[in-house]
Amino acid sequence: MNPDVHVSRFGVIDGELRVGGMRLSLLASRMGSTPFFAYDRALLDARIDLLRSVLPTKVQLSYAMKANPMPALVQHLANRVDRIDVASALEMQVALDTVIRPGLVSFAGPGKAPAEIRQAVAAGILIEVESTTEIERVIGAGSELGVTPSVAVRVNPDFSVKGSGMRMGGGPQQFGIDAETVPDVLRTYRGAGLDIQGFHVFAGSQNLNASIIAEAQRKTVNLVATLAEHLEEPIRYLNLGGGFGIPYSQKDEPLDVDAVATNLHDLVHGEIDRLMPTATPVIELGRYLVGECGVYVTRVLDRKISRGRTYLVVDGGMHHQLAASGNFGQAIRRNYPLVVGNRVEASLGERATVVGCLCTPLDLLGDDVELPPAEIDDLIVVFQQGAYGLTASPTAFLGHPAPGEALV
């Protein structure tokens, strides 16, 4: 995507990018040092408002916290979403500190430790079981604690979703229980002291193709309708996954969320109302909710010319933003959108390669990008940094200090 699109989403003050209502250089001085991540509340709110305005009212919105577990941001979102999805004991703790009640916190992921399971059962969290071993552990924890655990069965579907950045369903998977074995599993654990509320199908992440997402949701509804017949109680929980992507490179087209929503209206008022009227449909999103609200801000430490090529060396890099660098040398690396944040209205005047401060050629933030001529101390801003940034990067690599982080 053209960086201009992102500049206009954030806005401009005095020729600088506006983040959290401030011009960037003011934000940088308040942060005290660079590099840092900043997440813009107004953009977060706008994204939630957009989704609420197009999604059927019956569909609940869950925030998948692993995209960005910063407690302040999670607190902000907790007032605006219906549910939170967590994937570890620490994330569970952050979710339990919000206004979302425990029964609306779901816990997914393969390899939940027995201690995490006990903690989740004790707190009354909905556990999305991914294997029969986990079911046994949940039952064990329930009888030890004298409570009836709430669970949903995560299903590895009998279809896969093409076009996902990451496929997490279909074929052999570490995620979920294979769809064809679910009826037997449900029969086995009938009367075992579990409150089985429904099912969760998450087929993939970072998908920009609305018709593929729509098809996956349709197949999920049909699959769950057949599985729901094997439940003791009417189905209450129908987690359709999410996987809504955001554009990172110039080649990416934004997701047509209206088209996804139109399909959901059809499903909610069609198959879901007809076959599973007791079910609450849930869409679970991480990246799409928070990814576009965040920036990663670094400062130019050096500007050098090597055999005709201009290099801007910044004080951050792949240790804070692994994905923008190309994930340790991925086959096809594409530039993330970036700008000189204190010169967003200056005309583009040179091509420069923006590199981080790590001693590896992999530490590349922008390869031969067109920018206004930048000087030492200028602020280089990388967009689309609200999800899978800081906590998804190798911060210990080379031992530089951790970056700042703020919700503004």
Footprint of ligand PLP (CB under 6 A): 64, 66-67, 85, 108, 202, 205-206, 242-243, 284-288, 387
What lies within 8 Å, CB to CB, of 46 at 6+ separation is none
Measured between alpha carbons, how far is 201 from 176 in angstroms, rounded to an integer?
Answer: 8
Q: Which residue has the tokens 């017949």?
A: 229
DSSP-derived 3-state class of residue 218: helix
Sign of the torsion angle spanned by Cα atoms 313, 319, 323, 329: positive
92 vs 344, beta carbon nearer ligand PLP: 92
Estimate to the nearest angstrom the gap between the alpha carbon of 241 and the chain centroid.
Answer: 12
Q: What is the smallest separation between the CB atom of 88 and ligand PLP, expressed in angstroms?
A: 11
Instruction: Return the structure tokens found at 96.
Output: 């339990």
User: Could you tell me how many residues make up the chain?
Assistant: 408
Token pair, residue 395, equals 């911060």
Which residue's structure tokens are 């979703």?
161
**Nearest-CB residue for ligand PLP:** 286
**Least distance in Å: CB of 391 to ligand PLP?**
12
CA–CA separation, 166 vs 203, rounded Å?
9
Structure token pair of residue 313: 């060396």
Closer residue to ligand PLP (CB): 141 or 213: 213
- With beta carbons less than 8 A apart as the criterion, state whether 320 and 35 touch: yes
CA distances from 198 to 44, 214, 352 (A): 30, 21, 53
Closest CB 84 distance from ligand PLP, rounded Å? 11
Of 131 and 143, the one with the shorter C-beta distance to ligand PLP is: 131
Closest CA to 245 of 388, 105, 108: 388
Task: Give how far the C-alpha of residue 394 lies from the chain's centroid of Cα atoms, to the nearest Å.
Answer: 18
CB of 168 to ligand PLP, least distance (A): 6
CB of 129 to ligand PLP, least distance (A): 13
To the nearest whole angstrom, how small is the minimum distance from the Cβ of residue 400 to ligand PLP? 26
Distance CA 327, CA 330 (A): 6
Judged by CB, which is closer to ligand PLP: 62, or 342? Answer: 62
Output the smallest distance, CB 263 to ligand PLP, in A.
17
Of the two residues 255 and 382, which places its CB atom closer to ligand PLP in the complex? 255
Nearer to ligand PLP, 40 or 128 (CB): 128
In the complex, the smallest distance separating the C-beta of residue 197 from ligand PLP, rounded to whole angstroms, is 16
Q: What is the residue type of 117?
A: I
Closer residue to ligand PLP (CB): 242 or 337: 242
Report the residue number, 213 or 371, with the smaller CB distance to ligand PLP.
Answer: 213
**Nearer residue to ligand PLP within complex by CB, 242 or 372:** 242
Q: How far is the CB of 17 from ligand PLP (least distance, A)?
A: 25
Question: Which is closer to ligand PLP, CB of 77 or CB of 285?
Answer: 285
- Quick check: 41 and 19 in contact, CB under 8 A? no
**Alpha-helix residue ranges (DSSP H) falling in 247-294:** 257-267, 273-275, 287-290
| Shortest separation between residue 166's beta carbon and ligand PLP, angstroms | 8
Task: List all residues 6 or more positions away from 376 whose beta carbon is below 8 Å from its beta carbon.
Answer: 300, 301, 302, 303
Through-space distance between the first and last CA atoms of the chain, rounded to whole angstroms: 24
